[in-house]
Structure 1
Amino acid sequence: MIHPALHKNPVALDRDQHRTLRVRQDYADVSHTAALNSMFLTAVEFADACKEYPIVFVRAGTDPQTQKPDIAPVAVFGLTPDENLFADGTRWQADYVPAVLRAYPFAMAQLNEQNYAMCIAREWPGFSETEGTPLFEADGKPTVYLTEMQQFLEKLELEVQRTRLVGQKLVELELLRDMRFDATLPDGNKLTVDGFLAIDEAKFAALPDDKVLDLHRSGILGLINAHQLSLGNMTRLIQRRGRRTANA
């Protein structure tokens, strides 16, 4: 998937145009994420991501077939727009890194319902013509590195589609509601974080047993529990903000 704030200059990967392009796998600077307030998560990532980040849901347009809102889960990185409290310029300050960020500078762009094109963020400083791991062999065939990256991206796109179905189910059961988070920062200033959706506890508790069993069997119940658990990380974000302010 292409993230506009992350892939600012995506170009389709071409075996002729990019025949000599290499990737410096040792390049660890994450300054390109400094203004990322959040990042899309696939459902399969919830178990790991809930230990590090608040996981909330946001509106992501409208499904063209059902005309119902598309809902996307995101990992929250900051308390204000354009703030990422996990990026320090040289490394990511969390054990788990969301899959979209791990795939960078590569991404898949959807051409139509069935076809995708592998793209690169050409502005990424880790690309080189002389250093690092090549993307193509001399004869134009993909290297093992590029083949593995393509497989990773294809799996990621499959998980994106599965995650959309989770959002559709939550909308169908009317389990989401607008939420806000009010906090007092270490310097005494008040802060409100809103514009996101979370599980409506009352509606969730009132679900009939057959609906709960269905959520359990589909794996969505576990995702709901991970989401609820992750909201405690909002307090950790305040602590991160406090440490960053103090260091500054």
Structure 2
Amino acid sequence: MTQHVLLNNIDHKDLRVITDRSVALGDAIMSCVAFPNEFRNLQAHYPVLFQKDVDTGTFQATVLLGFERGENLFLTDKGWNAHYMPMVLEMQPFLIGTQRRPGEEPEQVIHVDLKNPRVSDTEGHPVFLPHGGNTPYLEYIAGILEQVHIGASTSAAFYQAVDALGLLEPFALDIELNDGSKSRLTGFYTVNEEKLYALGGDDLSSLNKKGFLQPLFMAVASLSNFRDLIERKNRRL
């Protein structure tokens, strides 16, 4: 259950947010949504894959955190074991909303999910200063939300361009662990490197001008993180 409300310094003057990472706080997840404008940061730690909506045929990037449902190999008893966290996780329990005043254009506002387990009146980072101003923590979150908004608003064009060039292909990975167990990861897509490297000058120039070329190469580079992810799994065994 969720309870999304407009954040304000009157009703939520005492609101605090727990930024620890744990199963109890909802971090036991296998994957999460990602945006092209964060691929450069993600590729240093996580495999970046793509999933296709069977109903609409549209693609969406996803960050792989584990190999089975409810498994997050970056979650430890000491917290999150990576220097960068996907934005959709970092921004919780906040969301982007819009507000329209009479006669004015819609503006972006911050909403908060009051039912999120990170919300507290006694623990965590305060959201507002004693006299109502934003704390540095809230300013940081506002920056994250702005990047999420940019990522969400530009993703459709990115996937349309990539799909039009046929650059995504189905992906499967056979995994064998140190204990002899085997599994197969399916249901994802990756960038077809041969097609990417074979693109002509016009296509490359178009992708580059739109800011789409770098995310593609970052997604390709991210696949080297499968070795680390498998090793994380082996250490847990």
* TM over 0.5, shorter chain: yes
Q: Distance in 1 between matches of 2:49 and 2:64?
A: 7
Counterparts of 1:133 and 1:175, CA distance in 2: 43
1:229 and 2:217 are equivalent in the alignment: no
- Within a 5 Å distance, the mapping from 1:98-247 to structure 2 comes to 98-109=86-97, 118-130=110-122, 133-136=125-128, 141=132, 143-145=134-136, 146-245=138-237
Q: RMSD in angstroms over aligned alpha carbons?
A: 2.9
Amino acid at match of 1:12: V
Give the Å deviation of 1:20.
3.0
Query: How far is 1:143 from its partner?
Result: 2.3
* One of 19, 32, 57 as aligned partner of 1:39: 32
Gaps of 5+ in 1: 1-7, 63-67
Q: 1:54 to 1:109 in 2, by over 3 A?
A: same
Assess if the C-alpha contact under 8 Å between 1:37 and 1:79 holds in 2: yes
| Residue equivalent to 1:3 | none
Q: Contact 1:52–1:230 at 8 Å: present in 2 too?
A: yes
**CA 152–228 in structure 1, closer or farther in 2 if over 3 Å, else same:** closer
1:91 to 79, 92, 101: 79
Query: Taking structure 1 as reference, are residues 97 and 170 closer, same or farther at Cα in structure 2, changes over 3 Å only?
Result: same
Cα distance in structure 2, aligned partners of 1:134 and 1:82: 30
Residues 136 and 230 of structure 1, relative CA distance in 2, 3 Å threshold = closer
Q: Is 1:59 matched up with 2:52?
A: yes
**Partner of 2:103 in structure 1?**
none
What is the one-letter code of the residue matched to 1:156? Answer: V
Task: Tell me the TM-score normalised to structure 1 length.
Answer: 0.78
Cα deviation per residue 1:47-83 (whole Å; 9 max; x = unaligned)? 1211111111112476xxxxx6321111110112221
Segments of 5+ residues of structure 2 without an aligned counterpart are 101-105
- In structure 2, the residue matched to 1:4 is none
Q: Distance in 2 between the 1:196 and 1:182 partners?
A: 13
Instruction: Give the letter aligned to residue 179 of structure 2.
Output: D
Q: Identity rate of aligned residues, in percent?
A: 27
Residue among 2, 23, 47 paired with 2:17: 23
1:207-231 superposed Cα distances (whole Å, 9 cap, x missing partner): 3232122223333222222111111
Aligned length: 230
Local SS of the residue matching 1:12: strand
- 1:35: how far off? 2.7
TM-score (norm 2): 0.82
**Any conservation in 2 of the 1:170–1:176 contact (CA below 8 Å)?**
yes
Once the two structures are TM-superposed, the CA of residue 169 in structure 1 deviates from its matched residue by: 0.9
